[in-house]
Amino acid sequence: MDLFKQRIDELRQQLNQHNHNYYVLNQPTISDQEFDQLLRELQDLEETYPQYADPLSPTQRVGSDLSKGFVQVEHTRPMMSLANSYNIDEVQDFLRRAQDGLGGEPCEIVGEMKYDGTSISVTYEHGRLVRAVTRGDGVRGDDVTSNVITIRSVPLQLAEGLDWPDSFEVRGEILLPWESFDRLNLERQQNEEPLFANPRNAAAGTLKLQNSAEVARRGLDAYFYFLLGDNLPFATHSESLEALRRWGFKTGGHTVLPSIDAVSEFIAHWDVERKHLPVATDGLVFKINSRRQQLNLGATAKSPRWAIAYKFAPERECTRLQSVSFEVGRGGTITPVANLDPVLLSGTVVKRASLHNEDIIRQLDIHDGDMVYVEKGGEIIPKIVGVDTKQRQPGAQPLQFVTHCPVCGTPLQRIEGEAAWFCPNKWGCPPQITGRIEHFVGRHMMNIDGIGEEVAITLHEAGLVNNVADLYDLSEEKLVALDRFQSRSAQRILRGIEDSKQVPFARVIFALSIPYVGETTAKVLARNVHDIDTLMSMPAEQLAGIPEIGPKIAESIVEFFAREENREIVERLRAAGLQMSLSEDELASRSDRLAGKKIVISGVFAQHSREEYKAMIEQNGGKNVSSISKATDFVFAGENMGPAKLEKARALGIPIINEEEFLAMIQGN
């Protein structure tokens, strides 16, 4: 064998094993640096010898930034859902029905965790992953193989010498661990994107992204719970789970339960212990262990008769309110946050919970030192949902909202008709200054890597950055003079600052932190106004005439540019080289052919990616909308359009056009 091919095979085998040790067994045997060195060696060899390329190489775990649609695939065996139970009596009824269905034959039960993610079916042939398909409607699902191979706990190539069948299917759950979920939502909050409601929604949304490199970055995990195939050599479900674990799959563990008392103890145990798990769970699953008995029991039209889900009650804990801190956002909004005695909820220790605004505090009638009920469950941020007034301390006073900014001391103001109080000292209040810096450097704004909350505060406190234009005066010499910076981190920030000069005009508008101007509004402004000078000079009446702007946003824009401080920042950013107008290419490609049209995109396209078509719609004056309604002008449909959308469009009489018709439309034909 070629020596280079031999080394490539050795590296792939080693890296696959190290991935398994780290992501499945949680027992790494080498350092991250050593792993990276092996990975870099393999990358170099694969680039030098492309004839040995393999789509399942460990180097492909990072994914690709090429967009593509998903092809629908029919499941070899339908993916059914489970019937639910909510107490031990209902589980006992399930067991009794199973025994009756087997003519009184005794049944052995297997208990497992019910992970709260999105279902997946993965097929292996000759020990290699060949296809991964979502549950879909149970009969057909989307082929998401390119995204699943980025999940490091999913084996790509099974180790030789084990007893795996030549062909089999394994089903499981794709999850976003709590740690990854919290990190992702923090990023989205900083970028002013909608937050994910829970890890399940985040996992499902991530798995359907068109960009597998972004899927890899988010850090999905996978647990597997069911093995299917022809002529499998296992008499019981528990034996097949042991085999999956032996072959390298993450199974999450299982317990054989010989009696209903053991089932009851299993429920009681996991009702407490699940809170310590790194991933979200919403219950347990009980299955008949014997595969012969499973086949004999069969299934209803919707669910198997040999398995049942047990759902836990929503998590709620009672803990003491220690104090309330009042935090200042980049727009000056004051948010009350409850500081609590630590309590475990949904896998994380909760010490803080949002109280939202003064009205919520009044509605809950919260007093100093109250015992409060906290829920997280599927929610994004822990929230206080009630007070145990029976435990209220004698003489406790109602919680008082602050009247002055807790940082700069400025008297607070409240806009009529709105719930929030805010600090009007926009240009002198430190949290507002650093908040605008954080926003400016965010991924969907200027995308300057290396500057987060702590760095923004450090730069401001050191007197280096008092507004966003000051970022472009930074130098390596200034940065390395600070305690926390080394040459490498300073260069990383400076590279990001230099690269930001190529960021499109719409994102520059978004980055300026104009009140009420989010990402979508910034795109509308860029599309209609074309350059910053026109935007700064337009009166409110003219701005309000732009579709989707309206009087409130228009007044905010005029007020923003009326301040000399903001106009000076814009001029400094212009001098630094930022894009203050649409490029010639963007202007040349713009038209009003789709002006005012609300368009839904669905399906897979041949000539351009979905994201490219969305950009074309916006460039031609149209608006991308996600769901079909009476207000939809037409549906732009590719191959494998979702059947539900197709049915709804037809029911509402919404026109459906194909790829050729759309391209002709925007070309003026």
Q: Is 4 in contact with 49 (CB distance < 8 Å)?
A: yes
In the set 5, 68, 114, 426, the catalytic residue is: 114
- For residue 436, report the phi and psi dihedrals to the nearest 5 degrees: -70, -35
Q: Is 526 in contact with 580 (CB distance < 8 Å)?
A: no
* Angle formed by the axes of helices 260-273 and 88-101, nearest 10°: 140
Question: Count of CB atoms within 10 A of residue 325's CB?
Answer: 13
What is the per-residue burial (b if ≥16 Cβ within 10 Å, else e) of 367-399? bbbbbbbbbbbbbbebbbebbeeeebeeeeeeb
Can 523 be counted among the known catalytic residues?
A: no
Number of C-alpha atoms within 13 angstroms, CB side, residue 186? 10
d(CA 117, CA 225): 13
Cα angle for residues 366, 338, 367 (degrees, 5° grid): 20
Task: Mark out the alpha helices in 441-512 (DSSP H runs).
Answer: 453-461, 476-480, 487-499, 505-511
List of residues 6+ apart from 415 with CB closer than 8 A: 422
d(CA 500, CA 507): 10
Q: Taking the chain, what is the end-to-end CA distance rounded to the nearest angstrom?
A: 59
Q: Is 402 left (phi over 0), alpha (psi -120 to 50) or beta?
A: beta
Q: Is 432 in contact with 335 (CB distance < 8 Å)?
A: no
d(CA 520, CA 632): 18
* Active site positions, annotated: 114
